[in-house]
Amino acid sequence: MREMVVRYSEEWVEPTAEDLAEIERESDLIDAEIDLVQAEILLITAEPGPTVIDWHRVRRAEARVMRELLKLRAAGATVQAVAA
């Protein structure tokens, strides 16, 4: 088994106030994306298979991510969508 080596810069740099403000601005989108990942996990691990409710949960989570992304873009934020 291969061991993974993670290297960090010599000096840790704390996030700036601007960085923290950006994270705060994107917090609703981040929460929506977390909910989407959780819904997708439930979908693919459903036994014996996904139900209609599982699919609805994923679709609602996808719609919420899109709403939050559009809300940020409308506010002028430069948020990049990540393809799933």
HEC string for the chain: CCCCCCCCCCCCCCCCHHHHHHHHHCHHHHHHHHHHHHHHHHHHHCCCCCCHHHHHHHHHHHHHHHHHHHHHHHCCCCCCCCCC
pLDDT of residue 13: 82
Ramachandran assignment for 6, one of left (phi > 0), alpha (psi -120 to 50 degrees), beta (any other): beta
Q: What is the pLDDT of residues 19-60, one digit of tens each?
A: 999 999 999 999 999 999 999 999 999 999 999 999 999 999
pLDDT of residue 79: 65
pLDDT of residue 3: 72
The whole-model pTM stands at 0.74
Contact 57, 43 (CB under 8 A): yes
Average per-residue pLDDT in the chain?
88
Residue 84 pLDDT > 70, yes or no? no
